[in-house]
Amino acid sequence: MKGQERTAAAFRDRHAGGKRPRRVERRRSARRGWWSAAYVAGHMQALLHSLGRMAQKPLSSAMTVAVIGIALALPTGLHVILQNLQGVSAGWENTAQMSLFLKQDVSPEGVESLRSRLEDMTEIAAVMYISPRQALEEFRDSSGFGAALDSLRENPLPAVLVVRPRLEFNDPQLLRTLRERLQALPQVDMAQLDMEWIERLFAIMEIGRRGVLILGVLLSLAVLLIVGNTIRLAIQNRREEIEVQKLIGATDAFIRRPFLYYGFWYGLFGAMTAWLLVNVSLALLSGPVSRLSLLYDSARTLSGLGLNASLALMMAGVLLGLLGAWAAVGRNLREIEPE
Amino acid sequence: MIHFDNVGKRYAGGREALAGVSFHLEEGEMAFLTGHSGAGKSTLLKLVAMLERASYGQVFFNGQNITRIGKRRIPYLRREIGIIFQNYKLLNDRTVFDNVALPLVIAGVPYQEIRRRVRAALDKVGLLDKEKRFPVMLSGGEQQRVGVARAVVNKPPLLLADEPTGNLDPALSGEMMRLFEQFNQVGVTVLIASHDLDLISRMNHRVFTLEQGRMIADGRPVRDR
Predicted pLDDT at A8: 46
Q: Which of A178, A194, A210 is the last residue of a domain?
A: A194
Model pTM? 0.70
- A18-73 pLDDT, tens digit per residue, is 444 444 444 444 444 556 677 787 788 888 888 888 888 899 899 999 999 999 99
Residues A227, A178: one domain?
A: no
Q: Which of residues 67-86 of B touch A (CB under 8 A)?
A: 72-73, 75-80, 83
Residues A110, A153: one domain?
A: yes
Cross-chain Cβ contact A8/B186 below 8 Å: yes
Range of the domain at A289: 39-91+201-335
Cross-chain Cβ contact B80/A22 below 8 Å: yes
B128 touching A (Cβ < 8 Å): no
Residues A184, A269: one domain?
A: no
Predicted pLDDT at B221: 65
Residues A69, A211: one domain?
A: yes
Residues A84, A136: one domain?
A: no
B36 touching A (Cβ < 8 Å): no
pLDDT in tens, chain B (225 residues): 899 999 999 988 888 889 999 999 999 999 999 988 888 899 999 999 999 899 999 999 998 899 988 888 999 999 999 999 888 899 998 999 999 999 999 888 888 899 999 999 999 999 999 999 999 999 988 999 999 999 999 999 999 999 998 888 888 888 889 999 999 999 999 999 998 888 888 888 999 999 998 998 887 765 544
Burial B52-69 (b: 16+ CB within 10 A, else e): bebeebebbbbebebbeb
Domain count, chain B: 1
User: What sign does the CA torsion over B164, B170, B171, B175 have?
Assistant: positive
Q: Which of A194, A225, A260 is the last residue of a domain?
A: A194
CA of B28: which chain A residue's CA is closest? A11
Residues A216, A301: one domain?
A: yes
Domain count, chain A: 2
Cα–Cα distance for residue pair A186/B66, rounded to 1 Å: 92
Range of the domain at B71: 1-77+158-164+190-196+203-225
Residues A303, A159: one domain?
A: no
Count interface pairs A-B at CB distance under 8 A: 103
Note whether residue B47 is domain-resident: yes
Note whether residue B72 is domain-resident: yes
- Torsion angle, alpha carbons of A137, A142, A145, A147, to 10: 50
CA of A14: which chain B residue's CA is closest? B157
Residues A77, A216: one domain?
A: yes
Q: Kindly report the nearest CA distance between residue B182 and chain A, in angstroms.
A: 8
Task: Kindly report the CATH number assigned to the domain that includes residue B28.
Answer: 3.40.50.300
Residues A209, A321: one domain?
A: yes
Note whether residue B41 is domain-resident: yes
The CB-based long-range contact list for A228-233 (8 Å cut-off, 24+ gap) reads A228/A324, A228/A325, A228/A327, A228/A328, A229/A328, A230/A64, A230/A262, A230/A266, A231/A259, A231/A262, A231/A263, A231/A324, A231/A325, A231/A328, A231/A329, A231/A332, A232/A328, A232/A332
Note whether residue B117 is domain-resident: no
DSSP letter for A184, please.
T
Q: Which of A175, A194, A213 is the last residue of a domain?
A: A194
Note whether residue A28 is domain-resident: no
Radius of gyration of chain A (CA): 35
Contacts with B109 from chain A: Cβ below 8 Å: 38
CA of B64: which chain A residue's CA is closest? A21
Q: Kindly report the nearest CA distance between residue B27 and chain A, in angstroms.
A: 10
Alpha helices by DSSP H, chain B: 41-48, 74-78, 96-106, 111-124, 140-152, 170-185, 197-201
